[in-house]
Amino acid sequence: MIMLLCATSVISLSSCSGESKWVEHWKVYIVGQYGAYAGANYRKDYLQKRFDSMAPNPDEYQKAYYSIAESATSNIDEIHDDDEMLNKVMSVVNSYMSNDRYYYDISEKVCLNLKSHPDLYVENACKIIGSVDDLKEEMASHVEAKEVEEVNVANYECYNVLYSIDEKYYVICSITDKGNGRSEIQVVDKDNSINGILDSWELLHIKTNKK
């Protein structure tokens, strides 16, 4: 198997994007996990911009809508469509209803209002989020696959990928197509130095081509 330099995580997901597009598919995961190292949280920035346009001077009820939207999108790479997002928002609203209000830092009247009108909070949180595809597209736009090396290991199609997040942070990954619309990603190395990451990329390239 491909030699890993300093593996940090293994995640397996399915996708409806097609088996030939895994490099593109995993961009949302990469920016979600490592965007903060590039000095930004692109998911929150996107939601905040939409929220500000809808509620320039939000009251505490509207702030609760936003809080739910933010919580529901925390693992956006695992959400495939708007129906799944709706279910996730409903789950978050149910969590707000079942936990102590201090856990979510909301006032008593907001808590009572939420319990009386949970559908309203679901509806407005979904409005803030908008289309799942649009959110993912915005996040992925900050990630570029600088280098992609395709290899075959034990009859599995694998890709070594060097991702750049706005040229501020770099992540090397190994992606394996598992078949049946599923793939697995493993982080090999990450660095905010282009020179440091290129050294790791060259070493991975050498080890891969020795196989």
- Which of 86-95, 107-116, 202-211 is predicted with the least confidence, judged by mean pLDDT? 202-211
pLDDT value of position 26? 95
Same domain, 81 and 156: no
Average the pLDDT over 139-150 and give the result: 94
pLDDT higher than threshold 50 for residue 19: no
Same domain, 128 and 46: yes
> 3-class DSSP state for residue 5?
coil
Q: How confident is the model at residue 210 (pLDDT cuts 50, 70, 90)?
A: low
The answer to the question of residue 5 being in a domain is: no
pLDDT higher than threshold 60 for residue 91: yes
| Domain end call among 78, 106, 138 | 138
pLDDT value of position 44? 95
Domain count, the chain: 2
Same domain, 147 and 80: no
The C-alpha atoms of residue 202 and residue 197 are separated, in whole angstroms, by 9
Same domain, 114 and 176: no
pLDDT in tens, 96-133: 888 877 777 888 999 999 999 999 999 999 999 999 99
| Domain end call among 85, 116, 138 | 138
Same domain, 52 and 75: yes
Domain containing 21 — which CATH number?
Answer: 3.10.450
Cα dihedral: 83, 84, 85, 89 (round 10):
100
Same domain, 162 and 86: no
What percentage of the chain carries pLDDT values higher than 90?
73
pLDDT value of position 165? 97
CA-closest candidate to residue 187, choices 21, 18, 71, 30: 30
Same domain, 128 and 149: no
Same domain, 203 and 162: yes
pLDDT in tens, 164-191: 999 999 999 999 999 888 999 999 999 9
Q: How confident is the model at residue 18 (pLDDT cuts 50, 70, 90)?
A: very low
Q: How confident is the model at residue 65 (pLDDT cuts 50, 70, 90)?
A: very high
Same domain, 54 and 98: yes
Average the pLDDT over 75-100 and give the result: 93
Same domain, 98 and 126: yes
pTM of the model: 0.83
Domain that holds residue 173: 10-40+142-209
pLDDT higher than threshold 60 for residue 83: yes
| Domain end call among 138, 165, 194 | 138
The answer to the question of residue 132 being in a domain is: yes
pLDDT higher than threshold 50 for residue 13: no
The answer to the question of residue 2 being in a domain is: no
The backbone torsions φ and ψ at residue 80, rounded to the nearest 5 degrees and listed phi first, read -100, -25
CA-closest candidate to residue 110, choices 152, 67, 71: 67
Q: How confident is the model at residue 192 (pLDDT cuts 50, 70, 90)?
A: very high
Q: How confident is the model at residue 205 (pLDDT cuts 50, 70, 90)?
A: confident
Same domain, 148 and 131: no
> Would strands 182-191 and 143-153 be described as parallel, antiparallel, or unpaired?
unpaired
Same domain, 125 and 198: no
The C-alpha atoms of residue 172 and residue 148 are separated, in whole angstroms, by 10
The answer to the question of residue 1 being in a domain is: no
